[in-house]
Amino acid sequence: MWFQPILLSIRKTVRSFGYAWHGIWLVVRYENNTRVHLLASSGAVVLGVFLDLNYLEWAIILMQIGLVWAAETFNTALEKLVDLVSPEYNPLAGKVKDIAAGAVLFVSLMTVGVGGIIFGHRLYQLLVTGPGG
């Protein structure tokens, strides 16, 4: 049948999404730093609702949250790969892990800066003009 290859690729795609969700679950379940990011992300969303962010501010905040989560997930995957190929202590393996962790820190610090600009501006407006002003 002409549609059989299409159905097969849809099945593979659905299966791939299942693997991806499982990966997210593993990172959240077993990685402490990811739970810290979950707490911070939840706090940012609650604060965004409280401060009534506009659509552009939401887009920027959600993009930053996604960048931090992606960086942390890549970092975790890289750490697991390094542990697999170098189970014994290796200074080079340690450097690879440190560099990957540094990338997460860099993205996280930039996210704090972006959040500070957006949330700080909104908090300032709230303090100066008062609620509803």
Whole-angstrom Cα distance, residue 105 to residue 95? Answer: 15
Letter for the amino acid at 21?
W
Average pLDDT, the chain: 93
Res 12: pLDDT: 87
| Cα separation of the two ends of the chain | 63
Q: What is the dihedral of CA 60, 68, 44, 24, to 10 degrees?
A: 120
SS3 letters across 3-48: CHHHHHHHHHHHHHHHHHHHHHHHHHHHCHHHHHHHHHHHHHHHHH
Whole-angstrom Cα distance, residue 51 to residue 49? Answer: 5
Whole-angstrom Cα distance, residue 61 to residue 41? Answer: 9
Whether the CB-CB separation of 104 and 72 falls below 8 Å is answered with yes
The first and second tokens of residue 33, run together, are: 């730093």
Res 2: pLDDT: 58
Q: Give residue-wise pLDDT tens across range 51-93.
A: 999 999 999 999 999 999 999 999 999 999 999 999 999 999 9
Q: Is the pLDDT of residue 7 over 70?
A: no
What is the DSSP secondary structure assignment for residue 98, as one 8-state letter?
A: H
Map out the domains of the chain as residue ranges: 1-30, 35-129
78: number of Cβ within 10 Å? 16
Fold for the domain defined by 35-129: Helix Hairpins (1.10.287)
